[in-house]
Amino acid sequence: MASPHHEEDYSSNDEIDDEQDDDLPSFDISLREKGDHGSSFRTENDPSAPYQRSNYIERKGAIDIRCSCLDVIHGQFSSEGGIFATLIVLQFRFDARKRARRFQSADIELEFKSMKPGESGPEVYSIAPVGKMSLVPTTQIEEVSRKAGLQLGAAAPIGGITATGSVGWEKCVVRDTSDETVVIGSIDLKGRNWGPSNCASWTLLENETAKTSVPSSLRTAILLKRKDEKPFQCVVKIDAVVDAKSRMERMFGGKGRDPRDDPVLFDPEIEPTNKLREYDLEDLGSFDVESVCDVTMTTLFNEAVKQK
């Protein structure tokens, strides 16, 4: 494995035969400045309009990773008042632009903080999807053979003659092995050991047997509870492990260093976006976050063949 400090332009590796890498191990190397064109792009806040940018993360190359905001809604948690809320709907994309490229896993983390150190910031109240979801289950029949042998021997004390014999048997076991693509969502406490949960995270794992890659599209929803109307921020990190041909673990932010992208800044005074639907700003706490989440492995266009 190449040293993480050795810079190499991996853009030329796209011409290698696709068939050579299916059974090779994955590489665990952090993304460097040289790589696929566009892979080192850093998403920053617009100085003239720093709050609530729509593109959280954008990396483009042989494999693409994108995180875009579909809706941001600020309002009341309930009609009783006194507690504020924010609903955030995000779209994650994991796309391979070259054949035989795929994502083996992806870890998504969104940590919400106050703008001032020492303050607790928003609470992650609910997310979707949450828990474990299984997609593309597969089952295959696997045959395992085991051979055992026993050696019997005796040596005559005179003449050096040795008599040996062996007996053996073979045991054949046929079993079904199952695998699946997995999406796991959780609400976590991040960066401190006090206060309410402040982090939403998702892990995507491919079906290793079928080499399906992770889902190409993941739409998530996050509902926050807030004590006040102060601006707050979110640090977004995505760690993705890709196939061996991509030759590196593409890391976006995190793992012991400052995030590559600017934190996303939120201002509760900004009007709701309402791109997907109209929301009840007086009772966001009752909103069904599952109603906007979605997971897609791939999209097929059934009417692609046309006649004139």
Instruction: Tell me the pLDDT tens digit for each residue of 139-172.
Output: 767 666 666 555 555 554 545 545 455 556 676 7
- Supply the mean pLDDT for the chain: 79
With respect to residue 153, please indicate whether it lies within any of the assigned structural domains: no
Q: Report d(CA 228, CA 76) in Å as an integer.
A: 10
With respect to residue 94, please indicate whether it lies within any of the assigned structural domains: yes
Q: Report d(CA 192, CA 145) in Å as an integer.
A: 51
Mean pLDDT of 171-192: 84
With respect to residue 248, please indicate whether it lies within any of the assigned structural domains: yes
Q: Give residue 267's domain range.
A: 23-135+183-296
Mean pLDDT of 114-123: 90
With respect to residue 56, please indicate whether it lies within any of the assigned structural domains: yes
| Per-residue pLDDT, 17 | 39
| Per-residue pLDDT, 234 | 97
- Please report how many Cα atoms fall inside a 13 Å half-sphere around the Cα of residue 35, on the Cβ side: 23
Binning pLDDT at 50, 70 and 90, where does residue 87 land? very high
CB atoms within 10 A of CB 225: 17
pLDDT digits (tens, 9 = 90+) for 21-60: 444 333 332 333 334 444 456 789 999 999 999 999 998 8
Indicate if the pLDDT at residue 242 is higher than 90: no
With respect to residue 12, please indicate whether it lies within any of the assigned structural domains: no
The two tokens of residue 49 are 């309009």
With respect to residue 141, please indicate whether it lies within any of the assigned structural domains: no
| Per-residue pLDDT, 193 | 87
**Is the omega angle on the peptide bond into residue 129 within 30 degrees of 0, that is, cis?**
yes
Specify the number of domains making up the chain: 1
Q: Which residues make beta-bridge pairs with 87? A: 73, 223
Q: What percent of the chain has pLDDT over 70?
A: 69
Indicate if the pLDDT at residue 287 is higher than 80: yes
| Per-residue pLDDT, 204 | 96
Indicate if the pLDDT at residue 275 is higher than 50: yes
| Per-residue pLDDT, 131 | 96
Mean pLDDT of 102-119: 93
| Per-residue pLDDT, 146 | 65
Mean pLDDT of 266-289: 97
